[in-house]
Structure 1
Amino acid sequence: MSRISVRGFAVASATAVTTVGAVVGVASGNVQPSGDNLEATAADATLLADIPVGQQAQIQVSSLTQQADAQAAAADAAAQKSAEEAARIQAAKTAKAKKEAAEEKAEREAEAKAERASRDSVRDASSFSAKSSYSVSEVQAIARQMIPGDQFQCFSNIVDHESSWNYQAQNASSGAYGLVQALPGSKMSSAGDDWQTNPATQIKWGLNYMNDRYGSPCGAWSFWQANNWY
């Protein structure tokens, strides 16, 4: 066992094969080993022969165990590398998701800020000087300054259908009056005594009505689309 442990099972096995080949070659007359080779071959053959059969089997099992250990270590290394790569990919996905969430939040906050600024910039009807008459473009300009920016188009859609922006429009059959066709028109007196002649007063009343009844001009427009009235 001591000598085989120095040379190793693989060397002993290979030497055994070499020795057998050498002996056969000499016997057949095909090979003429030199003196040194013949001595080494004989010595290696003696070395292998010195090891009991049971110990030879143990050495072979030990070699196979070492191979299995090496393969297991390689598999562990590959698994660790795979896990590290998966962790890296997941970290990248998480970072991307956080970035997108932050961008969406910033966008919502910017929209909310713009909406607040729009509402803060809204003018009251009393801030407009009264005139004897108003053109359609003048009435629309007043409405743009009184209606929040995100609600103006909905308000405009309703006024387009109700009065075509004629602040003196009157329905002969129902008595509805003004830009938003209040019924009766006298309802608009709650916004100002000049409700018949001042479009700003009519816009103020109409906006309050839409907010109170439908939540907003856009809510009123959605109802109008479904029912052709509001």
Structure 2
Amino acid sequence: MSVSRIARRIASPKKALTAAALAAATTGLVLTSAPAQAATSSAPSSAASAKAIAHKMIPDAAQYNAFSKIVEHESGWNVTATNASSGAYGLVQALPGSKMASAGADWKTNPATQIEWGLDYMNSRYGSPVAAWNFWQANGWY
């Protein structure tokens, strides 16, 4: 089913945007022309969608919880979060954000790509998301 069909079937614009974003994330499509207001009003469902993707990618509960705590502190599960002073970007606040291109060309908007890159980073630098969270707690960054 196409994203436009989903949008036509749902009466509420907010629900239509949420359904379209979920469909796009599920199929790997990127929505780039949504108005800023609509994106802001759907932030909670975008966060929920990103969390659901992370749950699938990180089946171990302890590792998911540690990853989630880092992301909550770093970006509040906002895929397009940008640190105004450093320029760090995305769910895991990569610096520079373009580093995430190694996980996929859609790194700016795809939570799965950002999660994949973040997991690789945490595993290679700290050994696991739990170890990264332990470091974050001791230092306030990771």
More helix by share: 1
Of 42, 48, 56 in structure 2, the residue corresponding to residue 137 of structure 1 is 48
Q: Is the 8 A contact 1:144 1:152 kept in 2?
A: yes
Give the 4+ runs in structure 1 shifted more than 4 A: none
Please list the CA deviations of residues 96-148 of structure 1 after superposition, one character each: whole Å capped at 9, or x if unmatched.
xxxxxxxxxxxxxxxxxxxxxxxxxxxxxxx9412427611111000100113
1:212-223 matched pairs, under 5 angstroms: 212-223=124-135
**Which residue in the other structure is 2:87 paired with?**
175
Q: Distance in 2 between matches of 1:219 and 1:201?
A: 21
Q: CA RMSD in A?
A: 1.6
Identify the structure with bigger relative contact order (alpha carbons < 8 Å, sequence gap 6+).
2
Q: Does 1:184 align with 2:82?
A: no
How many aligned positions are there?
Answer: 104
Per the normalisation by structure 2, the TM-score is: 0.70
Larger radius of gyration: 1
> 2:78: which partner in 1?
166
Q: Which amino acid aligns with 2:49?
A: E
Tell whether the 8 Å contact from 1:128 to 1:200 is kept in structure 2 after alignment: no
Q: Work out whether 1:156 is the aligned partner of 2:68.
A: yes
Residue 190 of structure 1: CA displacement? 0.4
Deviation at 1:174, TM superposition (A): 0.5
Within a 5 Å distance, the mapping from 1:50-89 to structure 2 comes to none
The percentage of counterpart residues that share the same residue type is: 65
1:146 is matched with which residue?
57
Partners of 2:128 and 2:27 in 1: how far apart? 26
1:23-50 CA distance string (max 9 Å, x none): xxxxxxxxxxxxxxxxxxxxxxxxxxxx
Partner of 2:27, secondary structure, is coil
| TM-score, scaled relative to structure 1 | 0.43
Q: Give unpaired runs (5+ residues) of structure 2.
A: 1-24, 32-38, 40-44
- The DSSP-based 3-state class of the residue aligned with 1:135 is helix
Instruction: Find the aligned partners of 1:130 and 1:173 in 2 and give their Cα distance.
Output: 31
In structure 1, what is the Cα distance between the partners aligned to 2:120 and 2:27? 21
Aligned partners of 2:86, 2:59: CA distance in 1, in Å?
30
Which stretches in structure 1 are left out of the alignment for 5+ residues? 1-126
